[in-house]
Amino acid sequence: MTGFLDMYSEKDTFLHRLDPRVKLLAVVLISVLAFILAELLYLVVLLCFILLLLVLARSSYGKAFFALKFVIRFMILITMLWPLFDRSGTPILFSVGPLDITEPAVWRGATSAVRVGCFATVWYILMFTTSQRDLVRALVKLGLRFDYGLALAISFRFIPTFGLTIESIKDAQRARALELDKGSILRRSRNYVSILVPTIVYALRTADTLALTLQSRAYGAFSSRTYLREIRMRASDYIALTVVVLILLLPALAKYIYGVQI
Amino acid sequence: MIFLRDAKFTYESGVEALKGVTLVIDEGEYLAVVGGNGSGKTTLAKHLNGLLRPTGGQVLVMGVQASTRTVAELARIVGYVFQNPDHQLFCRTVYDEVSFGPANIGLEEQEVRRRADRAIEVMNLSDVRERPPLSLTLGLRRRVSIASVIAMEPQVLVLDEPTTGLDAREADELMVIIRKLNDEGTTIVLITHEMKLVAEHANRVVVMMDGRIVLDSDTRGAFSDLGLLKRSKLLPPPVTQLAHRLSQIGVSNDILTPQELVFELTRGDDP
């Protein structure tokens, strides 16, 4: 379960150095672009561009494979299912019983699959190259209240710890001959109480301790706080920002102002 | 009773926690498994009741391959008390908590009651029998968690750091009870890095380092090699260290308790 949480890896690439706000904006704009583009060819180009970024982010093969596995499965599923539900257009490629598989539907399915692929993969780049700390910092800088930012950071931080504790609780109850997947539904749900109660107690105790720890480190003592590491836009960040905006703006202009089919 | 042959275990993260461990645990033993943090002692212990399955080698419990049995089946033979009692307490009363295990192994109601009563008596919990376990002090919570395991009447009892967080008196009381269980025939496997407990209670010591057993001897033998203990990140009890310092004047270097040292110093020179 930690697979999705420890995607960030410490590297030194331009994507890692980029201001997290610019990255966040870039990801949003590229996602929008994936919805503006309608032609399969251009979407494939966009997907290749995103994959290129993924390579440039020098993400480890293991993590990239883990992440892309889900995307690829999803893309295959869309390509296969789309023609089954969309029966418009001609020519009919072949018929299976009452089902007519038409050529335009197959293309539409593939287009949607690639679009979803772009949309999902681009967010992975953000997760691969931005530490949770930086992400929260960017959100706070963009106007999120610090309290919420901190709460977000803490919940990210505690998910793996929680996972480990729940595993330990499960083991402790299994050592008392608890069999979670045996018996009637009633029995099973009662069995889960023996996991749930220690988990909740642990969560409450942790929250209590955490609150004391924060207070003892003067959290909330002043309404305005300073930050150890300020994020500041550098020249390269502005360049990247311009490039990203153009990447969205040019195709959007071409499509909506000049009516180019893309 | 329990036989590990070249047992290996690698966690999913790739950490090789056991690198081939061979160990025989006989009936009635009081065995201490010691080693620094990360030496593999808890991983080893979790193999004894099937919570972990060896990725190489074999674990036999009562002559049967542990890997062919479920944890619930093995729990009747090997009881395992976790370090943190709060990871298992969830019932409304101590009595309910203690009877959870026996009920899980499908005993008759009468037998469940008999075993729960006995476990409560053994662990001196009669006064708090109807109290909610989560509201008790840590010392009592630890005792409830042990009672809830011994109520299944396992032949082997594995205890992971049972004295963590207890004051000297609570720890002593607990160790006396465990001693008594051992005298009555329960095999004890004590996982700890507190060498004072080991010196005073165990009959046999297994020292682990980097996923391997580096020493397996009777307790006296284990304390004669201070260098090995140091490499294993263990600190022998002060009285043993003192005895080693005094070895130039003829004190033997396998002293385990203050009484022994007093005896050694006062007995005079003639044998």
B152 and A177 in contact by Cβ < 8 A?
A: yes
Parallel, antiparallel, or unpaired for β B156-160 and B187-192?
parallel
- Distance (Å, whole) CA B262 – CA A24: 72
Q: In B, which residues are within 8 Å of A172 by CB distance?
A: 82, 87-88
In a domain, B101, yes or no: no
CA of B87 vs chain A CAs: smallest distance (Å): 5
Please report the pLDDT score of residue B111 as a whole number. Answer: 95
Written as one letter, the residue type at B206 is V
pLDDT one-digit tens code per residue, B56-115? 999 999 989 998 999 999 999 999 999 999 999 999 999 999 999 999 988 999 999 999
Written as one letter, the residue type at A183 is G
Please report the pLDDT score of residue A1 as a whole number. Answer: 36
Domain that holds residue B253: 237-271
Distance of CA B146 to the CA centre of its chain: 11
Q: In A, which residues are within 8 Å of B80 by CB distance?
A: 175
User: Which residue is associated with the tokens 């402790």?
Assistant: A172
Tell me the residue ranges of DSSP E strands in chain B: 2-10, 16-25, 30-34, 56-61, 64-65, 78-81, 156-160, 187-192, 204-209, 212-218
Written as one letter, the residue type at B127 is D
Closest by Cβ to A201, choosing from B46, B86, B104: B86
Structural domains of chain B, count: 1
Q: In B, which residues are within 8 Å of A178 by CB distance?
A: 72, 100, 104
Please report the pLDDT score of residue A5 as a whole number. Answer: 56
Which parts of chain B sit beneath pLDDT 70? 268-271
Helix (H) or strand (E) holding B148: helix B138-150
What does pLDDT average to over chain A? 86
Structure tokens at A121: 């993969």
pLDDT one-digit tens code per residue, A6-56? 678 888 888 888 899 999 999 999 999 998 998 899 999 999 999 998 888
Please report the pLDDT score of residue A112 as a whole number. Answer: 93
- Distance (Å, whole) CA B223 – CA B235: 10
Please report the pLDDT score of residue B40 as a whole number. Answer: 92
CA of A194: which chain B residue's CA is closest? B90
Beta bridge partners of B192: B34
In a domain, B214, yes or no: no
Residues A91 and A104: beta-carbon distance below 8 Å: no
In a domain, B225, yes or no: no
Domain spans of chain A, in order of start: 2-130+232-256, 145-216
B100 and A169 in contact by Cβ < 8 A?
A: no
How confident is chain A (262 residues) per 10-residue block, as mean pLDDT? 62 87 92 90 93 86 82 92 83 80 89 93 88 85 85 84 91 91 81 91 92 88 77 88 90 86 78
Residues B234 and B193: beta-carbon distance below 8 Å: yes
Prediction pTM value: 0.75
A208-to-A158, A197, A201, B36, B171 alpha-carbon distances in Å: 14, 17, 11, 30, 27
In a domain, B252, yes or no: yes
In a domain, B117, yes or no: no
